Amino acid sequence: MPLTIIDSLQALPSEVWDGLLAQPQPFLRHAFLSALEDSGSVGGHSGWLPSHRLWCDEHGTVQAVLPAYLKQHSYGEYVFDHGWADACRRAGIGYYPKLLGAVPFSPVTGARLLGDADAAGKLLDALTVGLGAEELSSLHINFTSPACDAVVVQRPGWLERLGCQFHWHNRGYRDFQDFLDALSSRKRKQMRKEREQVAGQGIEFDRRLGRELSEADWDFVYHCYANTYHVRGQAPYLTRNFFSLLAERMPEMIRVVFATQHGRALAMAFSLVDGDTFYGRYWGCLAEFDRLHFETCFYQGMELAIAEGLARFDAGAQGEHKLIRGFEPVITRSWHYLRHPGLHAAVAEFLEQERSGVRVYAEQARSYLPFRQVAEA
């Protein structure tokens, strides 16, 4: 059978999986996804059961792949379909399990259909035809790249959903001051004041590469990360071992910023990089300090991106607070194939209105960017 399902990336050599990647984005690498599995962050009772879909030729050679998970809930996806699930429950329609093509816990746009585009199309067709046999309500593919969009949009039955994130663009800045010079006078003063507030509290920053961290450092990183969930009464998605495995398997892509006060560690921001993008991922602090989050996560990240010549800073989900600090609105896409005709029709109508609203929101958001107008130059 050309369609193959594997429930662990251990079943596929890393060179085969990574050989299908058009770009070196860290989240899609075998090292990242297998670290999620091997650390117990997915699988087990997490509600994320690995169910990767492969399309092979007559010789058994893998031509295309969808990193996929059987989901029993909608947590950790950052494309919110809880309302759809609730509507199904009230109507007596089963919504879970569903099949999700995504990177767990990572709202990062990228390739989802890996490999040859024609083979990826055949894979997608086989998956939608086979949903009923697997007793799955739906197939969802989140945070897709333009190449993936081009494959999906040609096929009937798929519903497009838009979202909006905020990304910072490095326009050849020499340093942080060069970026500040591009802002309006008022916003420039505001950012300087925020940075001075943090420095005035005696807080200093230490930036390190993945290979420079000890296991004790990773203990602190995880303590901070988990604390962001504990203070909200939630359990963290990732396990402690995930960070050690990632540091072992792809240290060259890891950047960590530590915030200290008089030699005492206070906070951290964990990020990943590839050839042109800085991805801000996890943050946490053990004590509250005014403006510490903005400095640790955003301003330190901007300085790192400038220093390493990276063109873009993707700081993840949410973000009006990013907007006024120079992060620009970016449209994201996801795709949804719903088997139940009534659900499909209702969601299609909802998404048509939502898409219009998202586009208007993204356009209006640009008016709040801090960059100076031509008249100020």
pLDDT value of position 374: 61
The helix/strand/coil state of 187 is: helix
Q: Which residue, 53, 136, 63, is CA-closest to 102?
A: 53
Contacts 24+ apart (CB under 8 A), 144-147: 144/109, 144/112, 144/333, 144/334, 144/335, 145/109, 145/110, 145/111, 145/112, 147/22, 147/111, 147/113, 147/117
Q: Mean pLDDT, to the nearest integer, of 55-72?
A: 97
Instruction: Please say if the pLDDT value at position 301 is more than 70.
Output: yes
The C-alpha torsion from 31 through 37 and 40 to 45, rounded to 10°, is 160
pLDDT in tens, 13-56: 999 999 999 988 999 999 999 999 999 999 999 999 999 999 99
Query: Can you tell me the distance from the alpha carbon of 314 to that of 316, in angstroms, rounded to the nearest whole number?
Result: 6
- Residue 267 contacts residue 224 (beta carbons within 8 Å): yes
pLDDT value of position 1: 66
Contacts with 177 (C-beta within 8 Å, 6 or more apart), sequence order: none
For residue 377, name the pLDDT band (cuts at 50, 70, 90): very low
Q: Which residue, 81, 84, 97, 92, is CA-closest to 135?
A: 97
Neighbours of 112 (CB within 10 A): 26
Instruction: Please say if the pLDDT value at position 85 is more than 70.
Output: yes
Query: Can you tell me the distance from the alpha carbon of 321 to that of 317, in angstroms, rounded to the nearest whole number?
Result: 11
Average pLDDT score, the chain: 96
Instruction: Please say if the pLDDT value at position 376 is more than 90.
Output: no
Terminal CA-CA length for the chain: 63
Query: Can you tell me the distance from the alpha carbon of 350 to that of 106, in angstroms, rounded to the nearest whole number?
Result: 25
CA-to-CA dists, residue 319 to 190, 327, 330, angstroms:
18, 8, 11
Q: Mean pLDDT, to the nearest integer, of 99-112?
A: 97
CA 318 to chain CA centroid, nearest Å:
11
Higher pLDDT, 108 or 275: 108
pLDDT in tens, 273-296: 998 999 999 999 998 899 999 999
pLDDT value of position 319: 77
Instruction: Please say if the pLDDT value at position 318 is more than 80.
Output: no
Neighbours of 366 (CB within 10 A): 11
- Residue 242 contacts residue 226 (beta carbons within 8 Å): no
pLDDT value of position 317: 80
For residue 316, name the pLDDT band (cuts at 50, 70, 90): confident
Burial class (CB in 10 A: 0-12, 13-18, 19+), 255: buried
Domains defined for the chain, CATH in brackets: 3-163+330-366 (3.40.630.30), 171-310 (3.40.630.30)
What is this structure's pTM? Answer: 0.96
Portion of the chain with pLDDT greater than 70, in percent:
99
Q: What angle do helix axes 240-249 and 30-38 make, rounded to 10 degrees?
A: 150
Q: Mean pLDDT, to the nearest integer, of 174-195?
A: 96
Query: Can you tell me the distance from the alpha carbon of 252 to that of 212, in angstroms, rounded to the nearest whole number?
Result: 10
For residue 375, name the pLDDT band (cuts at 50, 70, 90): low
